[in-house]
Amino acid sequence: MDLESLHALLAVLDHGSLAAASERLALPRSTLRRRIERLEARVGAELFLRDSRGAWPTPAARSLAERARPLLSQLQDLAGRVGQEVQAPLGTLHMLLPVGLPPELLVIGLTQARQAVPGLRFQLSFGEVAAGALPEGVDLAVHFGPSPPRGPYRTRTLARVPEQLLASPSFLAEHGAPQDLDELLRLPLLCWRAPGSSGRHLPLRSGGNLAVEPTLLSPDIHTLRLAAAAGLGIAFLPDARLPSGLGVEGLQPVLADVVGDECALRLILPEVSVDSPRARETLRIVDRLLDLIGPA
C-alpha cells in the first residue's frame, strides 16, 4: 500500500470529487483515478461510488481514511523533525535485511529516511547474517534469530516477535481448524526457515518440538504470509502484528496455546562504524520509526 494512493484517497474524501482533488493537488484526474483504483485493488473493496455530482465514500473508504490520516500526519511530522537535524550529505549506507521483511514497512522506512536525510543514499542487500561476521562492506544489518552473531559488533533489540501458526479463514472453512497436533500434521504446512534452523521442527509451548515435513519451506516470511493468505496451507512464521493497512491481514491463529515461541529482531552494527555520523543518523531514524509503529 503506497503513500501516494493514501494521499489520493484523503484528497478525494476531503474535496468531494476527483475533479476538485485534482485541482487542489495539481495532478491530472487520470493520475488520481489510477491511484484510487490501485488502492481499491490492494484492499479488495470499492472505496467510492461515483456519479455526475461527485464521489461518495463507501464505509471501506471511511475506515481506511480513519487509519491512514494519523499515520500520514505522523510520518510528515517525523520527516520534518528529523530533517532539521541533518545538514550535510552522509554518503551511502549499505544495509543487510532479512528476506521477507514486509515491503510496506520497508518502503515507509525508506521514504522517511530519504525525506529526513536527503544526503543519505542506501544500498540494500537481502540475506542471513552469518554466525561469524557481517559480509564485507555492510554498515548495518537487521537480523532475525535467537542470538546475535559473534564478533566485534554492537546490537540493539528492536522487537520480540511472536512465532505462531496462521491460516486464512477460507482455508480453515474448507479444511477445518485442527484441534490437536495429529490433526495439524494431516494438513499442508508452510514453514519459516529461521537463520541457523532447518525449519522442520515446530516449537511447542509445553517444551520440545514437533517434527514436520512442510509443503513449503522458505526463509522469506512475506512469501509464506501470501501463501497462507492464498489458502495454500497453515503457515508457521514470525508475526509482527503490524498496524491495520500494513502487510497481509486477516490471517487467524491456529493452536496458539500449543505451538509457538518468539524470536528477537535485532539491529547489528560493526563496532568500528557505530560512532560514524551516518550510523548515528540511521539509529535516530530507526528510533523514530519504532515510536511511530509502536510495540510489536
User: For 59-107, how does the pLDDT look when each residue is reduced to its tens digit (9 = 90+)?
Assistant: 888 888 887 777 767 666 655 555 554 444 456 778 888 887 777 777 7
Beta strands in 112-230 (DSSP E): 120-126, 140-145, 153-167, 189-192, 201-203, 209-211, 216-218
Judged against a pLDDT cut of 70, whether residue 288 lies above it is answered with no
User: For 271-286, how does the pLDDT look when each residue is reduced to its tens digit (9 = 90+)?
Assistant: 655 556 656 666 666 6
Average pLDDT, the chain: 79
Task: Please tell me which residue, 247 or 37, carries the higher pLDDT value.
Answer: 37
pLDDT of residue 133: 65
User: For 176-226, how does the pLDDT look when each residue is reduced to its tens digit (9 = 90+)?
Assistant: 999 999 999 999 999 999 877 889 999 999 999 999 999 999 988 889 999
Give the up-direction half-sphere exposure of residue 92: CA atoms within 13 A in the CB hemisphere: 7
Is 171 strand, coil or helix?
helix
pLDDT of residue 295: 44
pLDDT of residue 87: 46
User: For 261-272, how does the pLDDT look when each residue is reduced to its tens digit (9 = 90+)?
Assistant: 988 888 887 765
pLDDT of residue 190: 96
Amino acid letter for position 283: L
pLDDT band at 247 (very low <50, low <70, confident <90, very high): low
pLDDT of residue 76: 66
pLDDT of residue 274: 55
Map grid coordinates 504470509 to a residue.
Answer: 225
Correct CATH for 161-263 of 3.30.420.40, 3.40.190.10, 2.30.30.90, 3.90.420.10? 3.40.190.10
Is 277 strand, coil or helix?
helix
Identical fold for domains 91-155+267-293 and 161-263, yes or no, is yes
Cα 12 to Cα 1: distance, rounded to the nearest angstrom? 17
Judged against a pLDDT cut of 60, whether residue 158 lies above it is answered with yes
Q: What is the pLDDT averaged over residues 141-147?
A: 74
How far is residue 166 from each of residues 33, 99, 198, 240, 258, measured CA to CA in Å? Answer: 35, 19, 19, 12, 13
pLDDT of residue 6: 79
Tally the residues of the chain. 296
How far is residue 194 from each of residues 202, 221, 260, measured CA to CA in Å? Answer: 11, 9, 14
pLDDT band at 3 (very low <50, low <70, confident <90, very high): confident
pLDDT of residue 180: 95
Chain Cα centroid distance, residue 95: 16
- Which has the closest alpha carbon to 233: 256, 252, 216? 216
Secondary structure (DSSP) of 224-255: HHHHHHTTS-EEEEE---PPTTSS----EEES
Correct CATH for 3-83 of 1.10.340.30, 1.25.10.10, 1.10.10.10, 1.10.1060.10? 1.10.10.10
Give the up-direction half-sphere exposure of residue 223: CA atoms within 13 A in the CB hemisphere: 12
Secondary structure (DSSP) of 121-132: EEEEEE-PPPSS
pLDDT of residue 285: 62
Correct CATH for 91-155+267-293 of 3.40.190.10, 3.90.45.10, 3.30.420.40, 3.40.50.300? 3.40.190.10
Domains in the chain: boundaries: 3-83, 91-155+267-293, 161-263
Is 280 strand, coil or helix?
helix
Q: What is the pLDDT averaged over residues 25-45?
A: 83
- Which has the closest alpha carbon to 293: 145, 125, 112? 112
What residues contact 39, with CB distance under 8 A and at least 6 apart? 1, 5, 6, 8, 9, 47, 64
Judged against a pLDDT cut of 50, whether residue 4 lies above it is answered with yes
pLDDT of residue 41: 84
Judged against a pLDDT cut of 50, whether residue 116 lies above it is answered with yes
61, containing H or E segment: helix 59-83
